[in-house]
Structure 1
Amino acid sequence: MPLPRAAQRQRGLALLFKFCVLVSLILVMAWSTASSADERDLVAKQTQQWLMAKYDTNGDSIISVDEISQKREKMFSYMDDNGDGRVSIDEYALLDAKKRALIVRARFTKLDANADGILTDEEYIEYYGSFGAFDLDGNGKITSDEINSDTSATSTQVATSPAPKCFLWLCVRSSAH
């Protein structure tokens, strides 16, 4: 039996409130790690783009209660593997396993430079060895100054390595070499 209109509205407002709290927490955590106003502006812009990509399903640059509800319902139906309207611990665990598999595949794709499905020692060293090209003072940390520095070592490393395209934790390396 569908909920009365007032109850649906109240439920939608509660959902919108939770969404706003989530966005606020994300922004506070991101801003706390940024050291300058420019970095905070960049983090805010990236967060906004991420939220729009995730929740603005109709592309109108506005996130509505309906879009949040649709996203939540879609996620629930994705978790409900057998379609009984309920999510068991086994179904939830299956979803977690699928997420983990995606993360592992994304990490492997980053490392597999020639995209042959096999990770070689050279590919592993090439990917993780690039750290040294950016850590100019050799202290084991990469600062924003080192990233922004235009040294020949950094320029050469960036020029010879295909840049992965990333969105949050998911990165894909171009197959064109």
Structure 2
Amino acid sequence: MTTDTGPTPTPGGTPLRGVLLGVDVGQARVGLAASDPDGLLATPVETLARDDEHGSDLDRVAAEARERRAVGVVVGLPRSLSGEEGLAAQRARDYARSLQRRLEVPVRLWDERLTTVDAHRALHSSGVPGRRQRSVVDQAAAVLILQAALDARRAGRPPGVPLKQRKPRGPRPATT
């Protein structure tokens, strides 16, 4: 007789099976995607308006994670081609931290270089007109972010990097 102790985690601690959510954080909108329960395929869920004042977008993502019984959330981290992090990356990190405070499942960051460009390209080649693209491009980018994380998870790699808590800033120790 064997005892099932639950899903086997990847090296990063996220179970190999179970729903993951993908989040593409923009200045005005947030794209949301979800995987199937087996973690094979990412599909678009919705586009949310950013709400920096009340956090209703964060509340909606957290509610979606609970409704789907997600085992984790992957937030896209926009980096430059050289790997540098700018203001958009800092906003994504801040968003991920705020989301983590609302959830009991891990929130991880995924390098999302060029996903919005790729999403625009895919929508254009699918015949989606430019005006319509604006309302769905964030969802399409979230799908690309999530699918890459799912593929990594299936290959036994962690689906992104763990969210690090901000270290308090203070004076640096003197070097001798």
Q: Same fold (TM over 0.5)?
A: no
Higher helix share: 1
Higher strand share: 2
TM-score normalised per structure 1? 0.21
TM-score normalised per structure 2? 0.21
- Tell me: higher relative CO, structure 1 or 2? Use CA pairs within 8 A at least 6 residues apart: 2
